[in-house]
Structure formats: C-alpha cells, structure tokens
Structure 1
Amino acid sequence: MNYEAVLHIPLSNYAHGIDEENVVFRIRTARDDIKSCILHYGDRACRVNPVIFNSEPMKVVAQDELYDYYEVVLHSPYTRICYYFELSDGVESKYYYYDMFMNTLPIERSEFYQLPFNRREDIATIPSWVQDAVVYNIFPDSFATAKGYISNKKGEAKFSHHTTYSMRGGTLKGIKENIPYFLDLGVNCIYMNPIFVAGEWHKYDLIGYYNIDPCFGTNEDFKELVDACHDNDIRVIIDGVFNHCGWHFFAFEDVLEKGEASKYKDWFYGLKYPVEYPDSQEDIPTYDCFAYERKMPKMNTSNEEVIEYFLDVCKYWTESYGIDGWRLDVASEVDDTFWREFRKTAKSINPDCFIIGEVWESAQHWLLGDQFDSSMNYDMRKNCRDFFAVDTLDSYGFDSRVTAMLMRYNKNIVHGQLNLLDSHDVPRFLSICQEDMKRFKLSVIFQMTFLGVPMVFYGDEKGLVGIKEHEYRRPMSWDKEEGAEIYSFYQDIIKLRRNKDTLKYGDYKTIMAERNSGVYAFKRCHDDEETYVILNRSEESIAIDNVIGDTNYNIDLSSNEDCKMVEPWGFVIVSKSC
C-alpha cells in the first residue's frame, strides 16, 4: 500500500455538507493502488461507548495521473459525525484515522476524524438559478450604440470637474436595444465590465461609485436596462472594483492635496509622503496600486470607513437597481474580512445574488461558503488551450487537469464555476486556435457541457479574433452575414445546454482519456438520463459504440450526419436512458 499518496483533510473539499442531510466524504489514494475503501461513520455524540459505527463502500469517482479519488455522498441521520476509513490493496488492510495507518481502532472517540456539526450556515451553496444560466460577457464600450449598431467613435463626457472617455461608442441604451439579440442567441444572463464613472475606456480606474459613467448613459438608463432584462427573464451581473480606485476618486484627490493631514490617508495602502502623481508609467508610485498601474491606487479595505463606504455601494446597486450578481475585480488581493462582510450585505438584500471572484489561480480559499459563490475559471481556459488549441496535452493529461478542477472544490461549488474561454483580459481563443474553427468548436462544446456556468465573451459567437488588447476588445460585429455559421453553432449548443437537465445538474464521469490519444469522452448523469460527449481531437474517425458500448441512444448534436462515427476533429453528443 502506497501510504504516502493517501490524503484526507477534514472540514474541507474532502469532507463537507451539501445540505443538512447529505455529506460528501473523499479520500485520495495512489492511482490503481487500493482495491477497496470503506467509510465507517457514527454519531460523535453517541450515548454509548464504544461509538456504534455504520459502513458505506466508497467508489473511485475520478483519476488523475498520480491519484484515485474515492467518494461517497452519505445520507446521514447524524449532524455530528466521527468517522474513519478502511483501506485494502488486496494484500493488507489498514484503518486510517487522525492521519495514521493503524491495525486497531482507538479507545477515545476524539481520535477519529470529526465533522463536528453539519451546520447549515457552513454549507457552501450557490443560488438556485445559476445552474440554468448561460452568461454573456459585455465590454460596454465595444458592444453597441444602438440596436445592431456600434459607432466605433471616440467620445468624452463631463462628470463634476473631470472628463471621462470612450473608445468605441458603446452605451447602456445600446445594450438594452439588443435584448432581442440575447434572446435569439439563447443566453439568459449578462455580465457587464465596469459601468461606473471612470477615466479610461476600460472603466477600471473609478472616479465615482454611485453614478453610471456619462459616456455610457445615466443611472436611469441602467435602471431601464435591468428592468427590461428582467422582463425578458435575463439576469444582470455588474463589475465591482473595490481593490483600487482611480486617480480622481475624491478621497485620493484629498490625499494628494493635503498629504498626511488628509482625513482619508488611511483609506489607501502604502502611502509615502509626499504623495504625487508619477510623471510616467515607468516611475514607481509613492503609493501601492493595482500591479504597478499608477492610475489605480490600492484601497485599504480593512479600514472601517472604507468598509462602510463600499458596503453602502453594494447596498445601493443591489437594492435600488435589483441587480442579480457581482463580479469582483482583483478579488484575491482584497482581505477576507471585507469579502465576508460584502457577502453578508449582498445576500441580506438578495439571497440569490451571485457573487463571483476574479481569481485566476486556485480559488479554493474563497469558495468555502463564506465569501464567493464562484470564481472565474481561467483553469478551464488554460486546459482547453493546451488540449484543443495547441496540442501540448493528450487526452490523458487533459483529464488529469479536469479531475484537479473537480476535486479542488466542494461538490456544490463546481456547479457555479464561471467557465470561460475569453474575457477582456486575454487574447481571443479563436486566435489561440490560429483561427481553426474545428479546434474552437471542440473547446466550446466542452465549455457548454462541462460542470459549471458557461460564459460567452461578446463576439465569440461571431468569430471575433484578436491577440493584442485593442484587438480582442474590438467593436462588436453586427453584420448578420459575418460569422453566421459559428453563430448558428452557438445557438444550437446553448439551446442544448439549457434544455438538458443532465448538462445543467448532472454528475460528471470520464469515459475515455488515454495516453497519446486525442479522443476525450465523458458523461453527465441526472435522474434517469445519461448524456455522453465525445470530442475527437485527432486525425482518425472513432466509432461511437466503441466509446459508450451501446447502440440504444439518440443523437443530440453532431459535427456530421453519420450517426455511428465521430469524424476527425469532430464531436457527437448523445443521450440515453439509464
């Protein structure tokens, strides 16, 4: 038995409640090492000694290159559980508890693993509407000036004594007038990059938090947009920028004017006096900022006045305008206490408010139920890039990464991960695919059928490309003929996603992922139906029956009309009864 590979962490993604009656237990072992794994569990407040234990066999639910992951979802009559594992490799058997391998069980119940209390307050959940969502991400300045139209003209507007700028001419009215476009595409949630008053066209250097940038419109325009979206069953998520502000935010201007005498000096991080604007981008600012971006001084979100100010901002937009969620910028650089308070505030107004953190790396720390509901899943983009776009992974390696994504988080949380191929911060994925539409489609199929919430960056459905910032934030294409084929493909896969309960709610299991292979297949299971997805990133056809071992299925979507084979660089999605 490979002892070194065995891992279990209490009160983590390895042991957590998914509701008040069901608890997930996981244990990691070396790949293909353990022949059986049994969970033994009992009431840690049991009235008799020794504790009376029950047993449940565990199953391998996922594998990566090094490990097997055993799991059981325990329907438990106990809210307080002590437990241990019994492992066998076919030669020897061991009890595993308290991170020790033993031949006997302990006398004291406290020596077992413990789930002290399956408290409802500690269960990480996501809003019920989220699993039905397909999100459309809009970069406001680049999307639309009016229905089916973007002016692509620079502009400027006045706010107080400041000038704000636009690059492409997009407006909130333009977004509202294109609600029929969202309905035709099939998306039912929009997420907009920042819309509050700011200097630059990207609007991440905020001047004011209570007003819509006048280049985009007015607060009333925003209210009309949200109401119109809700009338059409479309949710609205906005961008919250609380890690930093802009040069011309009132508090920072006061610090620049008054220095150490400013009553706002503790609102900011790392001030060195005299605080001055750097003359150029190359000069090191005399204050902490986002990265080394001199126009974005970092806020001190542990300061009570800053907390109060931003929580009021949260209340204002969540309550007065009825938004459905927040995407939180640079979330990993803001202190946890602030995010916990932010969550409480948003959820107290709208319990179904969807809170998404911008975290590019593992977001496990923030997804335990007390901060965010979701994070932007850049890992999914990276994995799709390496497997579908640039061929640096075989299907075996790709599946190992998929397993890592699934096992990293609590079982509920993976259904809320925001799965993206593109955003305003990265080159267009179609460009990464060297504009090879077959590679791109395979990536989109995976995105739309994987666990989590798919997010489409505006224009992906029209085949927009771009490597540099000004290119991938290019104006939206409103030419109906341009990208018509890929648009139709997006309509089909979004419709399938939204109509299939298996794809929205189902469990995930890998079916085929072999070394030196480009064929990747998995299934999603829910109630009495199974949906199989076969992705063929190779130069050879493969028989569907060779993958799923059955002929009793219905074709949901396919890249070719042959119902028996998956063509090279093609895909098929089939469903059947369990």
Structure 2
Amino acid sequence: MLFNSRDPRYRFPTGAVEAGRPIHFRITLPRELSCSAARLIVEPENEPAILCDMFWCGMNGEEEEWWECDFTPKKRGLYFYLFEASTCRGVQRLSRGEHGRAIFGGTYRWQLTVYQEGFKTPDWLEGGIMYQIFPDRFYKAGGDKENVPAGRTYHEDWYEQPDWRPNHEGRITNTDFYGGDLQGVREKLPYLKDLGVTCIYLNPVFESHSNHRYDTADYLKIDPLLGSEQDFRELCESARELGIRVMIDGVFSHTGSDSVYFNREGRYEGPGAYNSAESPYYKWYNFRNWPHEYDSWWGFDTLPNVNETEESYNLFVNGEDGVVRRWLRAGASGWRLDVADELPDPFIDHLNEAAKTEDPEALVLGEVWEDASNKSAYGVRRRYLLGGQLDSVMNYPFRDAILGFLLGGDPAAFAEAVENIVENYPRPCLRLLMNHIGTHDTERAITVLGGTPANGRGREWQSGKHLSQREREIGRERLKLAAIMQYILPGVPCIYYGDEAGLEGYRDPFNRACYPWGREDQELIGWYRSLGKMRHEHREILARGGCRVRKAEGNLLVLERFIVRGAEGEDCAFRDSLMLIINRSERPQSILSLSLDLSDAKPVLGENLEGVRVLRPYSCALLKFRKEIQTTP
C-alpha cells in the first residue's frame, strides 16, 4: 500500500483537523523506482498550491522505502492534496483511489477538512438518543379539539388515513388535522424516557395553516391547535427534569402566504407585504410584479421566499429580542434549520451568533442531504461545519448506506459511505450527527425494508398499499438491524415517531400517520428499549470512540467502535471495543470466513455466538471486548 488517508501509519492524525494542527504524512514507494525526491502537493481551495518536500526516512521491509513530511494548515477551509515522486521512470503521481488508498496516476485528490481553532459543539447531546415528533400526529391530550381555526378539517378518528386527494380546485392543501398537541407530548415523556430518549426534535410548532406547519404564519405564537406558549414552556421544563432537551424547527427561508407577514388570504389585520408596498414586511420578499408575482419556494405560491439578507428580517430572526433567542429563553435547547442549503452564509452566521449568545450550549443543526463538508449550493461552496455555523447536520448519507446495504447493495459501498463521512467531518460535528433512517420527508423505514418500492407510483397506489404479513415480518427483522446500526455508528440515533411501533407508510402524507397507541408492535418497542439501555451502558465508546468497518463482504458486515483507556506514562493501556456482526441474508451465514478472534467476546445484544459461528437469517451479534495494549517498548 502506497498511502492510506484513513490509516494513522500514513497520516496522523487522520480525519478533519483543527486549524494550526500539524499533520504527519508518510508514503511508501517500491525500492525499484529509485526515487530521488518526493513532494506533498496541497491545494487550498481557490488559492495557489503549496509544495512540501518529503524526506527519506528508512526502509519498509526489504522492497519498499518510507518518505515523509509535516504540513500545518494555517486557517479553516477545504484543502485537497496528492503526492509526486521523481523516479527512474519519470515523475510519478500518487492520487486517490478507492477507500482512501493511493494509486499511481489518476486525477482524484484527497480532501482535508480544516475547521476553526477552538470549535466546540454542545456536550449535552453527545452519546444521546433523539426522537422526532410530527406534533399533529403523536398524541392529543384531553379529547377532541374545539374552536378549530377556519380552513382546517378535523379527524375525529385518530386511526383514519390522512387526506391525500386534491380538493375541488385540484390542489393538495394539507389542511386535515388530528389534534396532536404539546400537552400530549408532555404526557408521553415517561414513554420517551423509557426508550432512552435525551432530545426531542419537534417539527414546526408555530402558528401555521397546514398540518406540516412549514408555512409559518406567526413566528411569535404557538399554533392554537398545539396549545399555548405556556404549554411549550411546561413541556420543555418537564422534559428537562427527565434529562430530555427539546429542539425546534426553524423555517427561515420562506413564510406562508397566509401569514401575518404576507397576508395574501387576508386572514390578518395587516397590512402584509401582499396588501401594501408600505408594509413593514414588504422588503422581506422579492416581487417581480407586485403583488401577484413573487419568488416562492420551489414554485409553490403558498410559500413566498424571504430575502434573508434584508436587515429588518435578519434583526427579526437573529436580533437580541428576535425569534431565535426568544424561544431559547422559553425553554428550547436548540434549532434545526429547515433547507439549510437555501439560507445564505451570512444569515447562518448571524443565527449561530444569536443562539450561542443566548446559550453557549444551544444546538444549531441543519438539514443537508449530501456530504455537508464539501457541499456546494447555488454555485457557492458552503462552510457549514468549519465553525461558527452548524454544530451538525441530518445524516442522510448514513441513512442511504444502511438501507442500501440491508436491501442487497454492495457492502463495499456501505463501508465507503461511512468511512468517507468519518474522514471528512470535524470530530465536534461527527459526535452529534443526527442519524435517522426515516423522517417526515421519506418513506417509513419498515415500508422501505419490507415492501414493494413505490418507483414513482402516485398517491392513489400508495394509499391502498400495505405490507403483507410476510413483507411485514421481513421489514421488522431488517428494521431491527437498521436500528442497531443507527445506534452503533458515530453520531446520535434519531427515531422517527412510530418507527419503533411498526408504523408503515409510503411518502407524504402516508409517512405522517398518527402514532398507533394501543396497536403498537411491542416486540419492536422492546428492541428499541434494549438499544437505549445498551447505548447508555456503553456511552463513552459510542460517543467518543473510533469507528471502522472491519469487514464488508457478501451478506456479512462487521462494524467496530473502540476507545483506548490508560493514563499517560503507564506501561499498558486497555482497548475497549464493541463489535457488531450482521447477517442481512434470508439464510444462515457462517462467520468463519471473517477470521475474527472471538475468544474474549462478551455478548451484549442479539445472537450469542459462544461455541457457535453461524448467524441466523436477518440477525446480528453485538459483542464487547477488552484487550491489554503495551504502550512502552
């Protein structure tokens, strides 16, 4: 092996680094090349390349030799690098191949993420468990609602399927409600505590006129069907008493057309921007031809875009008495930023500053679907994870990797997806990654894992499609595997309400059905409780430990989390690790080919492999090891 960016023998430290931290690089070259000089070429983004001469430092066996150098990145940003060697065959380039390894020739560079010196993220979420709640559909307290606002329909039957048909105008309005509320969440806190939950993520709670509430009508009021500001404060207070924090959704790239600020439907006294060019909110929006033509989110005229760089809007959201700080004072512990891609950098800078000024431990987490370390949006390379913006992000790459593997995808692709994120993300962000396998924007996990793929089929087909008994059995077993992968991988697992109870459904609105109280899959809930206890018992390893994919071949996967314990200067230390072995197949699988030493293994969850080297179909074994490591020659 010429070089491997993920191996500390070749690059130390591995992964993203803090600005000002020296990095030691080593390459090994065949002796037969008669190398006379070698160089590390570092290319800071949008800046001239930096050449670092490497020096010969000895033999690697009889046939290879080591060349090495140090490089210290001075400031935060993305850097890309490769190597060159002057040999008897001319100048040879070493570029990035598969799985972080070097190849001769090629054009791909390695990425080096350098984050702000002193960058720190909130400690309270580390090692925890998140639980996402779609407020209208979780639990309603005190019976049916009265005084339902105009324009909304109300389901008296909690288990009825959400409305999916267009109205008489052919429009999908999302105006059917079930009455889930904040008091209902508060009543179910003991249930969440029993699952091991430490953070509730609430989809939008502010006054809005759709059931998803991403069309904000008033950022300063709780939606009346959910309760009052006092209900919100009491929920946050009661949750915190149980060791649970509350993170709320911030929808700041657009408002609703039916809002205090735009007021197209005339519901409010106004004047909104649609009613008058003299409105205090007029500058918030971009009108092409006032009042009927304006920029809107993805062309939906009910969601007019806002101009986040307009000073009055920025002060309204991020000022001393703005939205961000106001709701942190009311008890929230953080914000999840909807469509972070569509929020300009200066706005996110201001929002982060506002949140951290109010509470240094406030969480700012963003919705980003791709690798957030190198994401470009609207022609601009984003700096979400470099310090001063997002503490972490929703981890869609892990979701795609988990579901893809369990559905028969290439195991090597799973390994690459996981190790790429581990390599590219700053450690302060990595530890807080929101690891979900389903959200309000995706199909239910059990449906993906057991059912027929929708493949673009419409709502009518989705509405009538349910898992057969056999599909549900397969989906349940695969879901259990997906969940334990969530709980083991770096970051924080996030349960989408009802997944743990076996709730199924294709896309919106079928993935937003009500929690099936009284009809839960108790076997699944028991599994999630076991995972919660396991995560609490092994919190240090799972919060701060290293991660590697030990094996990924055929139908078998081996994941390892590890941490080294021992005081500096001692002759030995201990390496504590958790190893997860998964069989994704419908058939039993022998693990003898993995060549794993399980002699000192202690079973934690799943199969007990003592004296047995076969995993049942759709099963796993989680094992714990402790090994002594010599630290001095």
TM-superposed CA distance for 1:129, in Å, is 1.5
Q: Which residue of structure 2 lines up, in the alignment, with residue 425 of structure 1? A: 441
Structure 1 equivalent of residue 537 of structure 2:
499
1:156 equivalent in alignment to 2:148: yes
Give the unaligned 5+ runs of structure 2. Answer: 43-49, 57-68, 77-113, 152-172, 264-271, 374-382, 451-471, 566-573, 628-633
Q: Secondary structure at the match of 2:580?
A: strand
Whether the aligned pair in 1 keeps the contact of 2:401 and 2:413 (CA below 8 Å) is: no
Q: Do the aligned partners of residues 544 and 83 (structure 1) sit closer, same or farther apart at CA in structure 2, a change above 3 Å counting?
A: closer
Give the equivalent residue in structure 1 for 2:204.
194
Over residues 210-251 of structure 1, what are the superposed CA-to-partner deviations in whole Å (9 max), with x where a residue is unaligned?
A: 110001111111111111101111111111111111112223
| Aligned mates of 2:416, 2:387 — CA distance in 1 | 26
* Mapping for residues 176-575 of structure 1, pairs under 5 Å: 176-253=186-263, 254-259=272-277, 261-269=278-286, 271-276=287-292, 286-311=293-318, 312-319=322-329, 321-364=330-373, 365-388=383-406, 390-391=407-408, 393-434=409-450, 435=472, 436=474, 437-479=476-518, 482-500=520-538, 501-514=540-553, 517-526=554-563, 527=565, 528=574, 529-538=576-585, 539-543=587-591, 546-559=594-607, 564-565=612-613, 566-575=615-624
Deviation string 1:24-44 (CA, Å, 9 cap, x unpaired) is xxxxxxxx333xx8xxxxxxx
Structure with bigger helix share is 1
Q: Distance in 1 between matches of 2:119 and 2:520?
A: 43
8 Å CA contact retained: 1:463, 1:486: yes
Corresponding residue of 1:33: 2
Asked if structure 2 preserves the Cα contact closer than 8 Å seen for 1:498 and 1:504, the reply is no
Deviation at 1:522, TM superposition (A): 1.7
Cα distance change, pair 129–81 in 1 and its aligned pair in 2 (3 A) = closer
Amino acid at match of 1:384: I
Q: TM-score, normalised by structure 2?
A: 0.72
Shift of 1:541: 2.1
The TM-score with structure 1 as length reference comes to 0.78
- Larger deviation: 246-255 or 556-565? 556-565
Q: Give the equivalent residue in structure 1 for 2:61.
A: none
Please name the residue that 1:65 is paired with: none
Q: How many residues align?
A: 489
User: What residue identity is the alignment partner of 1:60?
Assistant: D
**Residue 563 of structure 1: CA displacement?**
6.0
Q: 1:132: Cα distance to partner?
A: 2.3
> 1:164: Cα distance to partner?
11
In the alignment, the residues of structure 1 paired with residue 624 and residue 512 of structure 2 have an alpha-carbon distance, to the nearest angstrom, of 38
Distance 1:356 1:79 in 2: 22
Deviation at residue 287 of structure 1 after TM alignment: 1.4
CA distance in 1, matches of 2:372, 2:201: 20
Q: Is the 8 A contact 2:338 2:367 kept in 1?
A: yes
1:137 correspondence with 2:137: no
Contact 1:328 1:355 in 2 (8 A): yes
Kindly tell me: are residues 164 and 406 of structure 1, through their superposed partners in 2, closer, same or farther at Cα, counting changes over 3 Å?
closer
Shift of the alpha carbon at 1:468?
3.1
1:52-77 Cα distance to aligned partner (Å, 9 max, x none): xxxxxx8716xxxxxx9844269x9x
The amino acid that maps onto 2:591 is A
Kindly provide the amino acid, as one letter, of the partner of residue 283 in structure 2: D
Contact 1:165 1:215 in 2 (8 A): no
* Secondary structure, counterpart of 2:224 in structure 1: coil
User: CA separation in 2, counterparts of 1:145 and 1:198?
Assistant: 18
The letter for the 2-side match of 1:400 is E
- 8 Å CA contact 1:88, 1:94 repeated in 2: no
Matched, 1:72 2:10: no
Aligned pair in 2 of structure 1 residues 297, 547: CA closer, same or farther (>3 Å)? farther
CA RMSD after TM alignment: 3.0
In the alignment, is the contact (CA less than 8 A) between 1:82 and 1:112 conserved in 2?
A: yes
Alignment-mate amino acid for residue 624 of structure 2: S
Secondary structure at 1:366 match in 2 = coil
